[in-house]
Each structure stands twice: as structure tokens, then as C-alpha cells.
Chain A
Amino acid sequence: MIGPLAFSTTLGCVIAALVVAGSAIMRRWRWRSIVPTLLIIQLAIMVQAAADAITLAGGHRVGELATHIAYLAASLVVLPVTATQIAHDDGTWAALLLVVALLVLAVIVVRMQTTWRIADA
């Protein structure tokens, strides 16, 4: 795990979720406006996954390998799946769905850091 990248991703997800929720409440939510942010977060997740895969292949041992890989796989699919659902939908419930996805992703990244650190301890 790249610690600073994981922290930035978590923070980015939470801030993006707050911005989306705020824009939905103010009736200014437009799905197109969040696409660049989602792309950046997804890129960060993919870099993180690649770094994890390389480190694991290099012999790094984690306490719960299966759990960590499951979180890793989930983190890669959450945003693409949600994005395909909310695309072209400027409704408030679409915004709420994205808020849920971003918060779930933030929790997954935090949990990934936990499962990674077990072996470090």
C-alpha cells in the first residue's frame, strides 16, 4: 500500500461525496461535472492496486491475504459500476447513489490499509 496515496484517495472520496451531496441538495447536481473527479479517484485506485500487486509479488506478506485481495477487487469495480448506473441521470437519487458508492469506497480503502498493516505489526 502507498500510504499517502491511500490517505489522499480516502480524503478525496469523502470530499467528493460531500460535494455531490451538497450539489444535490442545492439542486445543482449534474453527472457530467463529477466525471473528471471520478476518473482521478479511479486512477488512484488503479495505481494503488498495481503497487499492491507488485509488492505482494515481491514477497510482502499480509495477515489476511484473501480479505485484502477481496477489498482490492471491490475497490476496482465500485466506481465503474456506479458510473454506468448514474450516467446521463441528473436526478437527486442518482447523486445519492454516487454518495453511497464514494463512502463505501472510502471505507474499503481504510480497511485495505488495516489488512495491509497486520503483517507490518
Chain B
Amino acid sequence: MREERRRIGAGRVLIACYAVFVVAAASRGTVQLATHAHRAPLAYCLSELAALIYLLGLFLLARADRGGSPRAAALCCGVELAGVLAVGIASIIRPSAFPDATVWSHFGSGYGLFPLVLPVLALCWLRGRGASGSDSTPDICATSAPASTTTPPAS
């Protein structure tokens, strides 16, 4: 019996990125809170909050990738983007409030500004998905792939 596999789309790549940030933000915040919480409690709690938002985004994006409604995921990505912008601006105008960096300090410059780009990419993907009802970023190599590896997306 041959197992049918879904081709990897943009959604899976985004989900993988969110998974990386869940682990990175949660580990960072947990270790910092466990070892030297007194140094910058606000910053460390914000890292934990970021981890929670990334975790929620991960589940909602995974649900949208399987054909679920993209609205909840878009709302979560919007909150995430607002958080990155708010913490980024706050860390610039009031650096004294952040003795140690958070995941979102200076718009995520510690992570190559990827925390700022990630929700934007997710929102673009969700917007296309909401418009077409399927992954709107078709694979440019799809025509060269064997037909047995493709299955239609769940609706």
C-alpha cells in the first residue's frame, strides 16, 4: 500500500519557522527567568509572552494549512506584528526599561529582524489563502514532480 503525501508548500515553511521561534523564545525566557529573573523581569516575561504567541500562531497556521479558517491565524499574526512593533519602539525610546534584550527588542534585531518579517510573510500567505481557499503560492516546479506525490488540499 502506497502512502499519499502532501507536497510541501509555503505554509509548511512558515510553520517550521514558527516552531523554531517557539523553541527559541520559550527556551530563552525560561532559562533567563530561572537563572537571573531579577536582572530584567519585564524583558524575560515579554520573551515568554512572545513564545506563547508564536505557539498559538503555530497551531493556527497549521490549522489554516489543513484547510481551516485563516481568520484566527491572521488575528494572531496581527497581534504578533503589533507586539514586535510595540516592543521594538519601546526598546528604542526607553532602553532603561529593557536592561536585557527580549526576542522582540529593536524589532528582533538579535534574530536578524526575522521576528518583524515573519508575521508579515504569514499575513501575506493567509491573505492569498483566504482569497483562493488553497495555498496561493504554487510550486514553480510542480509540473516536473511525479503525480503520485500530490494530493489535493483538504477543503
Number of interface residues of B (CB under 8 A): 21
Does B147 make an interface contact (CB < 8 A)? no
Does A83 make an interface contact (CB < 8 A)? no
Does A27 make an interface contact (CB < 8 A)? yes
Cβ-defined contact, B31 with A97, below 8 A? no
In the complex, which of the residues B8, B16, B23, B27 contacts A91, with contact meaning CB atoms closer than 8 Å? B8
List the 3 shortest-distance A-B pairs measured between CB atoms, nearest first.
Answer: A91-B139, A94-B8, A93-B8
Does B142 make an interface contact (CB < 8 A)? yes
What sequence of 0s and 1s flags, for each residue 10-33 of chain A, a beta carbon within 8 Å of any chain B beta carbon?
000000000000001001010000
Does B140 make an interface contact (CB < 8 A)? yes
Q: Which of A89-105 contact B (CB under 8 A)?
A: 89-94, 96-97, 100-101, 104
In the assembled complex, how far is the CB of residue A85 from the closest CB belonging to chain B, in whole angstroms? 7
Does B10 make an interface contact (CB < 8 A)? yes
Cβ-defined contact, A64 with B12, below 8 A? no
Cβ-defined contact, B144 with A89, below 8 A? no
Cβ-defined contact, B20 with A91, below 8 A? no
What sequence of 0s and 1s flags, for each residue 33-69 of chain A, a beta carbon within 8 Å of any chain B beta carbon?
0000000000000000000000000000000101100
Cβ-defined contact, A100 with B145, below 8 A? no
Task: Specify which chain A residues have a CB less than 8 angstroms from the CB of B63 in the assembled complex.
Answer: none
A74 to B28, CA, bound (A): 14
Cβ-defined contact, A91 with B31, below 8 A? no
**Given A29-B141, A67-B31, A88-B5, A93 contacting B10 (CB threshold 8 A):** yes
Does B132 make an interface contact (CB < 8 A)? no
In the assembled complex, how far is the CB of residue A111 from the closest CB belonging to chain B, in whole angstroms? 10
A68 to B86, CA, bound (A): 31
What sequence of 0s and 1s flags, for each residue 64-80 of chain B, a beta carbon within 8 Å of any chain A beta carbon?
00000000000000000
Q: Which of B124-155 contact A (CB under 8 A)?
A: 137, 139-142, 144-145, 149
Cβ-defined contact, B144 with A27, below 8 A? yes
Task: Specify which chain A residues have a CB less than 8 angstroms from the CB of B142 in the assembled complex.
Answer: 91
Cβ-defined contact, A27 with B16, below 8 A? no
**Given A92-B139, A92-B140, A93-B139, A85 contacting B145 (CB threshold 8 A):** no
Cβ-defined contact, B141 with A86, below 8 A? no
Task: Specify which chain B residues have a CB less than 8 angstroms from the CB of A70 in the assembled complex.
Answer: 27
Q: Which of A69-121 contact B (CB under 8 A)?
A: 70, 74, 82, 85-86, 88-94, 96-97, 100-101, 104
